[in-house]
């Protein structure tokens, strides 16, 4: 089985959504996927922040239109989309311990779809070194 490690740093909704879609496609194709949320993306993994539909500046002036499209396509609930990604295949999601500390988040405040909180070093050893491919978002 191929292994894919994904490091997600940007916390805009559209970046997290795009990452989720790629994770789902890879897992459904039989690839083992490990996702690591750090920096701004880690801050979005709280039960409250995950619900915010804040788009990147690329969508400036089109935010309302894009939000409507996302609602029509049932793509606004990232927790649900991550659950579907995990159901599609072998997916492990984790958040960066240091990033969470920077944003003052505790593990119990995070979405249930995360499998663990770990250090960058642990993710490096566990997922990046044995990966066939490493992607960043």
- Give pLDDT tens digits for 61-87: 999 999 999 999 999 999 999 999 999
Q: What is the pLDDT of residue 28?
A: 98
SS3 (DSSP) at 60: coil
pTM listed for this prediction: 0.92
Domain count along the chain: 1
Q: Print the domain residue range for 130.
A: 3-136
How many Cα atoms occupy the beta-carbon half-sphere of 78 within 13 Å?
26
CATH number at residue 87: 3.40.1260.10
User: In 31-49, which positions are buried (b, 16+ CB within 10 angstroms) versus exposed (e)?
Assistant: bbbbbbbbbbbbbbbbeeb
Regions of the chain where pLDDT drops below 50: none
- What gap in Å lies between CA 128 and CA 102, rounded to an integer? 23
**Predicted pLDDT at 1:** 78
């Amino acid at each position: 089985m191929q292994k894919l490690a994904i490091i997600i740093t940007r916390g805009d909704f559209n970046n997290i959504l795009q990452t989720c879609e790629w994770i789902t496609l890879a897992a459904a194709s039989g690839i083992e996927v490990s996702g690591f949320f750090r920096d701004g993306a880690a801050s979005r993994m709280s039960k409250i922040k995950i619900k915010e539909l804040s788009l990147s500046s690329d969508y400036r002036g089109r935010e309302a239109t894009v939000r409507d499209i996302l609602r029509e396509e049932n793509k606004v609930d990232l927790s649900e989309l991550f659950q579907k990604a995990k159901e599609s295949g072998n997916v492990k999601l984790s958040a960066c311990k240091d990033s969470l500390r920077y944003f003052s988040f505790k593990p119990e405040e995070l979405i249930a779809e995360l499998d663990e909180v770990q250090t960058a070093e642990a993710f490096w050893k566990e997922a990046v070194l044995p990966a066939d491919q490493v992607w960043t978002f």
